[in-house]
Amino acid sequence: MLKSSGNENIVLDGVNGSITGTTINVGNGTFVVNANGALTSSSITVTGGSISINGGVFSVDSNGNLSASSVTISGSGEGTSFNLNSSGYL
């Protein structure tokens, strides 16, 4: 266990598996989580679960189903079916 008082405000507790403080910075900025939960990473892999951005404006569930309120697709692609609205947009 490491505890620090003052400006650092860091507590590492190996028993409970928690880190508290204002910012976690690993690799000189390559992985940072601030006190508000904002994550910055130069490379990340998500395995399992789901992801939701901005309250579900963009989301992918654990089965790979994608939902987005707006999308622009360019280039080539493959698929078994595509649903378009009356304007010809996905």
Enumerate the domain spans of the chain: 2-41
- pTM of the predicted structure, to 2 decimals: 0.52
Structure tokens that stand for 14 in this block:
């190996």
What percent of the chain is helix, strand and coil (3-state, nearest 5)? 0, 30, 70
Q: Is the pLDDT of residue 10 over 70?
A: no
Q: Which residue has the tokens 């089965």?
A: 63
CA distance 30 to 74: 30
Q: For residues 81 and 42, which has the higher predicted lDDT (pLDDT)? A: 42
| No. of helices (H) and no. of strands (E), the chain | 0, 9
Q: How far is CA 37 from the centre of its chain?
A: 10
Q: What is the pLDDT of residues 11-59, one digit of tens each?
A: 665 666 666 667 777 888 888 888 888 888 988 888 888 999 999 899 9
